[in-house]
Amino acid sequence: MMVKTRIIPSQPALVLEDTQRFLVVTDLHIGFEIGMISNDINVRPEDIVEEIHLALDTLIKSEKPDSLILLGDIKSGIDSISKIEWQMVPMFFEIGQKINTIVIPGNHDGNLAHLVPEYVTMTGPSGLVIGDTLLTHGHVMPSENFSQVNKIVMGHLHPVYFQEGSVLDGQRLWVSIKTEKQNIFPSSKGDLEIIIMPSFNKYFYATHKRYHKKSISPILERIKEVHSAKIVTLDGSIIGDESILKNII
């Protein structure tokens, strides 16, 4: 069953349409403010959660999805739960009282289950298949059981354009890669599209820019050959193809 995926103009969010409509966002990293506070950037974690709520409310009003899917890294600490996360993550999940909310855990979501209210659904880390599309955080290799999919939508890598002096410096990006399905699912033939979503958290690089360490995804490590790639800014400008891929992710 072919599923329609549509990037929402100017937003780090995607709509997936099957028999239902899903709003998909990724990489909130709630609790990351600890790094900003230690760098003397004064932010109130409550304000950031409120801002995320407002942004999601606006998208929910305009797109009218049936469900919200979070592709992981809701929180920032990898294994532990920080004091900020104990307070802020449950506050964030209040969104689940307004809309059916599904969480696909990421590599920063260790112990997240302690913070998820019973009205929010949590899947396993391998992800969720809707029609012909696998939704996953991106830090786990998909199992052969998912080999019927033609598309993978993932987060984890938070693609950002870094080039000092460029007007695009620090901008979040969408990346779409077309490759052989066999790279990821050895028993399958045909093409596979991989869409890497930008992080929903716009402050994420305010402090880390100089120390930007690329995340590693086993999915991308398995791709021997990229047929083509498209790298697009949030406002829809195509800024590159497969030739600049390694600078972005």
> At 24, is the pLDDT very low, low, confident or very high (cuts 50, 70, 90)?
very high
* Integer angstrom CA distances of residue 228 from 52, 183, 233: 33, 14, 17
With beta carbons less than 8 A apart as the criterion, state whether 1 and 149 touch: no
Q: pTM for this one?
A: 0.93
Interaxial angle between packed helices 83-92 and 45-63, expressed in degrees from 0 to 180 and rounded to the nearest 10: 20
Place of tokens 């809309």: 99
Per residue in 52-95, pLDDT (tens digit) is 999 999 999 999 999 999 999 998 877 788 888 899 999 999 99
The C-alpha atoms of residue 116 and residue 97 are separated, in whole angstroms, by 12
Q: What is the residue type of 233?
A: T
Domains in the chain, start-ordered, CATH in brackets? 4-248 (3.60.21)
**Tens digit of each residue's pLDDT (9 = 90 or more) over 117-138:** 999 999 999 999 999 999 999 9
Residue 100: closest CA among 121, 71, 124: 121
Q: How many other C-beta atoms lie within 10 A of the C-beta of residue 223?
A: 17
Determine the 3-state secondary structure of 40 from DSSP: coil
Q: Angle at CA 135, nearest 5°, toward 66 and 22?
A: 15
